[in-house]
């Protein structure tokens, strides 16, 4: 790329990490997103809710009441900060750790719990794994497990918005492992060529399941990969919610001016396992976890609010009690709700069910049932 091309595209090989929240609790004015105390408290409540629900869902899985959970322990600021920066009309394309952002955008807690149990009220009718929900009403695309496929989905939505001249952008979440997928290349290349309003948010959390970052790429950073596509790459402290809000807002503003996409590398750490099916103690040392625990993104926000006199221990206690009560109620309802009707497996495939499927459905409904393993 010539120097003139680099100048026009705004691309460079970034190395500096954008941060806002200083150790003394003040904010760097160079990147301060200008959030009010009420906005910060709103974010803090959702950060705490995300952490608390993570713990509760893991407990449910260990008790055998749900089959699976993918947590976001330690990555909450990168997820919720970026979602907070998006506008109501924008679409978010999740990976599978972002349930906290979906709740913040308006996904009902009951809907989330219904999906975790795969019951009759599950929006995907029990056909997906737990943690694979969708909510069109809040601009939340369906979650799919294959690595990186959501990247091209987000680009397609942004392209459609540009063609229709809609005032809408896309934010897509993915981990460092997804940068090795073909969808990463296809998505960034296409978005760069057509100057689409997409924010590519890579959560560099140190691990792609059990594969460390150094086995994932030979580049010094993930953000520098943006240079190859002629777009800006930004590195941000993913445990600093103020910094994440700031860089995401700037990326959206850039996209809506017609200047194209931005790749954000949010540097954070996966404090827990990849999922409830994973034991991270088999492949990583506890010392690294302890070091990152000292930079807990939620505690940093709490300290900021307390220092400003905007939060107290009593507020914290009341918040946690409210979250727990609402969660227990939602789980109780979800567990009492029956599973999806067996014949529903034939729905949502054809506008008009063909004769052979109609016959199979009738045979299924009339046929014998195997005894339930749950009594």
Say how far residue 217 (Cα) sits from the centre of its chain.
22
Alpha carbon distance 99, 57 (integer Å)? 12
Is 350 catalytic? The answer is no
What sign for the dihedral angle of Cα 305, 311, 315, 317? positive
Q: Cβ distance 183 to 142 under 8 Å?
A: no
Sequential DSSP letters for 210-249:
TEEGGGT-SSS-SGGGGGGGTS-EEEEETT-HHHHHHHHH
Is 270 catalytic? The answer is yes
Strands 17-18 and 233-237: parallel
Which of 51, 250, 274, 300 is flagged as catalytic?
274
Which of 127, 220, 283, 328 is flagged as catalytic?
283
SS (H, E, C) 139-183: CECCCCCCCCHHHHHHHHHHHHHHHHCCCCCEEEEEEHHHHHCHH
Is 96 catalytic? The answer is no
Specify which residues 17 forms β-bridges with.
Answer: 235
Summary count for the chain: helices (H), strands (E)? 12, 8
Which of 31, 97, 270, 302 is flagged as catalytic?
270
Catalytic residue numbers read: 270, 274, 283
């Amino acid at each position: 790329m010539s120097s003139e091309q680099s100048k026009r595209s705004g691309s460079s090989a970034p190395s500096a990490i954008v941060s806002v929240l200083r150790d003394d609790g003040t904010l760097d004015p160079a990147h301060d997103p200008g959030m009010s105390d009420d906005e910060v408290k709103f974010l803090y409540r959702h950060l705490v809710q995300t952490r608390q629900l993570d713990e509760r869902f893991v407990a449910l899985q260990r008790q055998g009441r749900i089959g699976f959970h993918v947590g976001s322990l330690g990555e909450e600021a990168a997820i919720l900060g970026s979602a907070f920066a998006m506008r109501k009309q924008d679409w978010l394309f999740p990976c599978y750790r972002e349930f906290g952002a979906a709740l913040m955008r308006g996904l009902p807690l009951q809907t989330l719990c219904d999906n975790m149990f795969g019951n009759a009220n599950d929006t995907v009718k029990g056909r997906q794994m737990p943690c694979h929900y969708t909510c069109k009403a809040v601009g939340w695309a369906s979650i799919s497990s294959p690595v990186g496929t959501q990247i091209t989905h987000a680009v397609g939505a942004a392209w459609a918005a540009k063609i229709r001249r809609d005032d809408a952008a896309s934010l897509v979440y993915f981990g460092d492992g997804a940068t090795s997928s073909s969808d990463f290349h296809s998505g960034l290349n296409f978005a760069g060529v057509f100057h689409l309003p997409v924010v590519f948010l890579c959560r560099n959390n140190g691990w792609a399941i059990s594969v460390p970052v150094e086995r994932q790429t030979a580049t010094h950073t993930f953000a520098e990969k943006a240079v190859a596509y002629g777009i800006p790459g930004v590195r941000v402290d993913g445990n600093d919610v103020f910094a994440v809000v700031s860089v995401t807002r700037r990326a959206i503003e850039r996209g809506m001016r017609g200047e194209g996409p931005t790749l954000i590398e949010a540097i954070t750490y996966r404090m827990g396992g990849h999922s409830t099916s994973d034991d991270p103690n088999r492949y990583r040392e506890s010392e690294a976890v302890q070091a990152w625990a000292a930079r807990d993104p939620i505690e940093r926000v709490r300290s900021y609010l307390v220092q400003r006199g905007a939060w107290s221990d009593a507020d914290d206690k009341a918040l946690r009690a409210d979250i727990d009560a609402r969660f227990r109620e939602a789980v109780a309802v979800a567990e009492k709700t029956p599973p999806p009707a067996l014949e529903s497996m034939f729905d949502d495939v054809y506008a008009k069910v063909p004769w052979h499927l109609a016959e199979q459905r009738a045979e299924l409904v009339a046929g014998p049932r195997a005894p339930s393993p749950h009594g």
